[in-house]
Amino acid sequence: MAKSNHSPSQNHFNHSQDRWLRFLRWFCPPALYEGIEGDLLEKFEEDVKLLGGKSAKRKLAINALKFCRPGIIFRNKFSNHLPEIDMLHNYFKIALRSLWRSKAHSFINVFGLALGIACCLLISLFVRDELTFDTFHTKADRIYRVYSREDWGENQQFFNTVTPFPMGPALKENLPEVEHEVRITVNTVQVKVGEQQFNESAMVAGKNFFDVFDFKVVKGNGHEVLLAQNNVVLSERMALKYFGDVDPINKTISVQLGETFENFSVKAITENTPTNSSIQYDILISELNNSKLFGERLLSSWFNIVPETYVLLREKTDPKIVESKFPPIFKTAMGEEDFTKSKYKAGLQPLTDIHLNTEFPTAIAPVSNPKYSYILIAIALLILIVGCINFVTLSVGRSLKRAKEVGIRKVVGALRSQLVTQFVGEAILITLLAMIIGIGLSILNLPLFNDLAGKQLLFSWDAFTWLVVLSLLIVIGLISGSYPAFILSGFKPVSILKGSIQGSTKQGLRKVLVGVQLMLSIFLISSTLIMKKQLSFIQNKNLGFDKEQLVEAQIIVPRTGRLTDRVKAAFVKIEQFKTELANYPDVVAVCGSSHDFGNGEWTNTGYTDEKGIYRNFAMNIVDEDYLSTLKIKLAAGRGFLKVNGADGRRGVIVNEAFAKEYGWTDAIGKKIPGKNFPDHEIIGVVKDFNFGSLYTKVRPLAMVENPAIILDGIENINIDNSPVPKLIVRLKPGNMNVALGHIKDTWKKIAGEEEFAFSFVDQAMAKQYKGDQNLGKIVNIATLLAVLIGSLGLYALASLAMQNRMKEISIRKVMGATDNSLLALLTKEYFLLIALCLLFSVPITWYLMKNWLSTFEYRVGISADIFLLAGGISLFIALATISFQTLKTVWTNPVKNLKYE
């Protein structure tokens, strides 16, 4: 019978679209809705006439919102007015009263739980970021990265997730299942914007990049940008850096790919790549530029691997079937002989598998160890458990105080299930309180956590956060509430009301719980101590060279010609620096070196020696001042001499590990035993120095001034980092800033407008251990929190125990017990408890820490003193906590506790 004929006067307002009315419809019981909405609309029509459309609309919103009140929302929700509603009222009141009555205990409960919850929330954000890596691409399930395996016989197995350049096109042309292929390389380039010049890394990608990956294009058209060679895509932050607030579209930047700068036109801006993306870029250009970046041979060879190749398979394609079609393609592409010899195999790794799979070698996409997530989850749970245990022990301990209430309720007719509901509900209420505080704490501490975890996480109220919050609420409430509820509801009313229940029940279980807390504390304390020891060991270990006071800067040379020419050009520039910097007394020494410290692997080479054994060694191209500048010590022979021209041409300096690999006692005058190496001679042996991180052993190393000696003789080369030399300068301690200013001036003189990007060697080296340093800090914080919560709980528990033993102690005192004997009596049991916990925690700590330490090649041992110290610390904390309560009890006048009335 309801007809809706809209009058023309109100056509400008479409009420079914109004979000406030939609909100009203959402919470309002359907039976009431029509009447209320009608009234609102009528009021609105009146207001339109009176006040005009705009403020009428605002009034409508306010009026609609005002309906959001319990009288409306809950109407008709409980169709029968059950007595339980009244009981709930009562439970709520009693819960608040008992919370309020014992403020200290409530505070300890809420505070402990809140800290645990805050840790859980933060870590859930972290874990989500790790687990959702790359899943934001809509076609993520169809995107794969190509990997390859080669097997050339003994010691020459290669497993790579970077591929040869011809791989992508070969797969696309021969397989109809491959919808698109995208090859990706990341290159260091010089970028000029106006007068300014920057040292940047640019991603070079195939033209279908935006058809495969979903990076949100904010301005411009992403899909067509990469079809033209001279187009460039910038991320929002890069656009801001270059152009500020000006609209960047169609602006020009110059990028140096080959010898000269070339103009690129900005055609699209994309959102900054999400933190949980394997593909990270700020500048993106088309692979049509590849010919300027890479040589002809590199682009066509099947055994030079450079780009990551991603393929997008068509829908409903089984990657296994696609993989099975690979061999014939490679056979034709690379020739039968090479294919058989290399036992070439390739496969597809799902995009979403890349981030957490440590079995595949790392290429451009970062890989993180899932262990890190597990450790963090474990830490969060530990803190939460400590908080929950506090809750359980305190509620059970306080149960006597509420025994009367339980008795009365039972007599009046409460069912056991009702009592359980009451106490579990109370627990959930406390958890809710803790939750609110915990959420606040986690939001406050998110920046700190981001810093430690190396992420840029944000706190947002999405479905995931709600899920975590609600499940924490229910799980914690049930776990910590159900045991006390079970104990409390189990009291027999008669014995309670007669007053025959004495002392605390279930002392045993509480001791076990406190024991678990202590064990966790000892475990965390000893882990912190061990980690501290290892981390300071890393900081202070003698690396075989002096890393302090060293500054380094990448020399910039045009990207043209062969790599060896570029290396040579850079050394020429370094010579200029040497002459110029020699004028300053603050500069102690200057040298050039292909590789620096803390920035990844040095060039690795491989060859088959005269006996047919495949050998690996690292190589570095240096100048004659290298050893003296870094203060590397010689074990035998001499360094390169400038006066001796032959050194530069044919001299090789190796490290002790190199000599050891070949079993040489005296390496001087020897040659590297491969048949293709040109004329050369080992002129010096240096003591081993850690040119890699302390996670790995010092590998055999050969240093040369003339790279041809090595390059002509090897069969394989693996260049992870640009071998274009770096300028390394040792400064005099003290006037750091003045000296840096000198270098900067010199840089301007020699390199002109090129960006002077320098770093300190010791800082760069420390960065390698950032992950573990941060883990150390996180464990440190966790330990503090756990110990704090644990001792608060212990404090509260001790005070309860003392209350129960008040009379006993008073009588003992009256009978002549001394303060000391009483103290000994009361604390004795805790000694025993701590000793027992120490015993249990040692194997766990030992096992886990052994595991962590084993990631370092150079590490400290785990010794007994650490556990004794950890035990001592926890004993001290525990006793300090307990003795406060104990002394208070012991020192009170016994009369006070013994007299009636």
| Minimum CB–partner distance for residue 429 and other proteins (Å) | 24
CB 717 within 8 A of CB 619: no
- Applying CB under 8 A, which of residues 12, 19, 49, 66 lies at the interface with other proteins? 66
Q: Closer to other proteins at the Cβ: 4 or 820? A: 4
Q: Closer to other proteins at the Cβ: 42 or 609? A: 42
250 phi-psi bin (left φ>0, alpha ψ -120 to 50, beta other): left
Q: Pick the stretch among 59-67, 213-221, 275-283, 673-681 that binds other proteins (CB under 8 A).
A: 59-67
| Minimum CB–partner distance for residue 68 and other proteins (Å) | 8
Query: Which residues are CB-neighbours of 662 under 8 A, at least 6 positions away?
Result: 670, 673
Question: What token pair was written down for 598?
Answer: 């803390």
Nearest alpha-carbon partner for 423 in 447, 403, 450, 446: 403
**Residues 28-57 vs other proteins: string with x where CB under 8 A?**
----x-xxxxxxxxxx-x------------
Instruction: Cite the DSSP H helix spans in 133-198.
Output: 167-174
- Applying CB under 8 A, which of residues 10, 157, 201, 362 lies at the interface with other proteins? 10
| Minimum CB–partner distance for residue 51 and other proteins (Å) | 14
308-313 and 178-193: which strand pairing? Answer: antiparallel
| Minimum CB–partner distance for residue 32 and other proteins (Å) | 8
Instruction: Cite the DSSP H helix spans in 541-619.
Output: 563-581
| Minimum CB–partner distance for residue 76 and other proteins (Å) | 9
Q: Is 15 exposed, middle or buried (0-12, 13-18, 19+ CB in 10 A)?
A: middle
Output the CA–CA distances (angstroms, integers) from residue 18 to 22, 34, 85, in the order listed.
6, 15, 35
Q: Closer to other proteins at the Cβ: 41 or 788? A: 41
Query: Which residues are CB-neighbours of 341 under 8 A, at least 6 positions away?
Result: 152
- Applying CB under 8 A, which of residues 22, 47, 54, 67 lies at the interface with other proteins? 67
Q: Closer to other proteins at the Cβ: 37 or 179? A: 37
| Minimum CB–partner distance for residue 466 and other proteins (Å) | 28
Q: Closer to other proteins at the Cβ: 63 or 883? A: 63
Output the CA–CA distances (angstroms, integers) from residue 549 to 236, 735, 736, 740, in the order listed.
37, 11, 8, 11
Q: Closer to other proteins at the Cβ: 35 or 499? A: 35
Instruction: Cite the DSSP H helix spans in 213-343.
Output: 222-225, 236-243, 290-293, 296-300, 319-324, 326-334, 336-342
Q: Closer to other proteins at the Cβ: 75 or 748? A: 75
| Minimum CB–partner distance for residue 210 and other proteins (Å) | 46
Q: Closer to other proteins at the Cβ: 73 or 646? A: 73
Number of helices (H) and strands (E), helices first, in the chain? 32, 22
CB 768 within 8 A of CB 600: no
- Applying CB under 8 A, which of residues 23, 25, 57, 63 lies at the interface with other proteins? 63
- Applying CB under 8 A, which of residues 5, 502, 665, 820 lies at the interface with other proteins? 5
| Minimum CB–partner distance for residue 23 and other proteins (Å) | 13
| Minimum CB–partner distance for residue 418 and other proteins (Å) | 22
499 phi-psi bin (left φ>0, alpha ψ -120 to 50, beta other): left
**Residues 69-108 vs other proteins: string with x where CB under 8 A?**
x-xx--x---------------------------------
The size of the interface with other proteins (CB under 8 A), counted in residues, is 28
Q: Closer to other proteins at the Cβ: 71 or 752? A: 71
Q: Closer to other proteins at the Cβ: 34 or 247? A: 34
C-alpha–C-alpha distance, residues 215 and 278, integer Å? 12
Output the CA–CA distances (angstroms, integers) from residue 808 to 394, 498, 636, 825, 890, in the order listed.
22, 22, 79, 12, 11
Q: Pick the stretch among 66-74, 449-457, 661-669, 765-773 that binds other proteins (CB under 8 A).
A: 66-74
| Minimum CB–partner distance for residue 82 and other proteins (Å) | 14
| Minimum CB–partner distance for residue 87 and other proteins (Å) | 15
Packing angle, helices 30-51 and 53-66, rounded to 10: 150
C-alpha–C-alpha distance, residues 263 and 334, integer Å? 36
Question: What token pair was written down for 660?
Answer: 């050891």
Q: Pick the stretch among 2-10, 194-202, 721-729, 884-892 that binds other proteins (CB under 8 A).
A: 2-10
Residues 566-585 that bind other proteins (CB under 8 A): none
Q: Pick the stretch among 6-14, 183-191, 486-494, 757-765 that binds other proteins (CB under 8 A).
A: 6-14
Q: Closer to other proteins at the Cβ: 6 or 498? A: 6
C-alpha–C-alpha distance, residues 761 and 588, integer Å? 15
Q: Pick the stretch among 1-9, 290-298, 360-368, 758-766 that binds other proteins (CB under 8 A).
A: 1-9
Q: Closer to other proteins at the Cβ: 30 or 669? A: 30
Q: Closer to other proteins at the Cβ: 23 or 360? A: 23
| Minimum CB–partner distance for residue 789 and other proteins (Å) | 44
Output the CA–CA distances (angstroms, integers) from residue 251 to 202, 230, 242, 449, in the order listed.
17, 12, 10, 38
| Minimum CB–partner distance for residue 42 and other proteins (Å) | 4
C-alpha–C-alpha distance, residues 54 and 830, integer Å? 72
Q: Pick the stretch among 60-68, 206-214, 440-448, 578-586 that binds other proteins (CB under 8 A).
A: 60-68
Output the CA–CA distances (angstroms, integers) from residue 595 to 15, 626, 712, 728, in the order listed.
69, 11, 20, 10
C-alpha–C-alpha distance, residues 503 and 417, integer Å? 25
Q: Closer to other proteins at the Cβ: 7 or 138? A: 7
**Residues 177-216 vs other proteins: string with x where CB under 8 A?**
----------------------------------------
DSSP-assigned beta bridge partners for residue 345: 149
Q: Closer to other proteins at the Cβ: 42 or 829? A: 42
Length of the chain: 901
Question: What token pair was written down for 88?
Answer: 């709930």
| Minimum CB–partner distance for residue 37 and other proteins (Å) | 5
Is residue 670 within the footprint of other proteins (CB under 8 A)? Answer: no
Instruction: Cite the DSSP H helix spans in 177-264.
Output: 209-212, 222-225, 236-243
| Minimum CB–partner distance for residue 84 and other proteins (Å) | 16
Q: Closer to other proteins at the Cβ: 72 or 228? A: 72
Is residue 1 within the footprint of other proteins (CB under 8 A)? Answer: yes
Q: Is 882 exposed, middle or buried (0-12, 13-18, 19+ CB in 10 A)?
A: buried
C-alpha–C-alpha distance, residues 496 and 374, integer Å? 47
Query: Which residues are CB-neighbours of 899 under 8 A, at least 6 positions away?
Result: none
| Minimum CB–partner distance for residue 75 and other proteins (Å) | 6
| Minimum CB–partner distance for residue 508 and other proteins (Å) | 48
* Segment (H or E) for 525: helix 507-540
Q: Closer to other proteins at the Cβ: 42 or 173? A: 42
Q: Closer to other proteins at the Cβ: 70 or 669? A: 70
| Minimum CB–partner distance for residue 78 and other proteins (Å) | 12
Q: What are phi and psi of 333, to 5 degrees?
A: -70, -45
Interface ranges with other proteins (CB under 8 A): 1-7, 10, 15, 32, 34-43, 45, 63, 66-67, 69, 71-72, 75
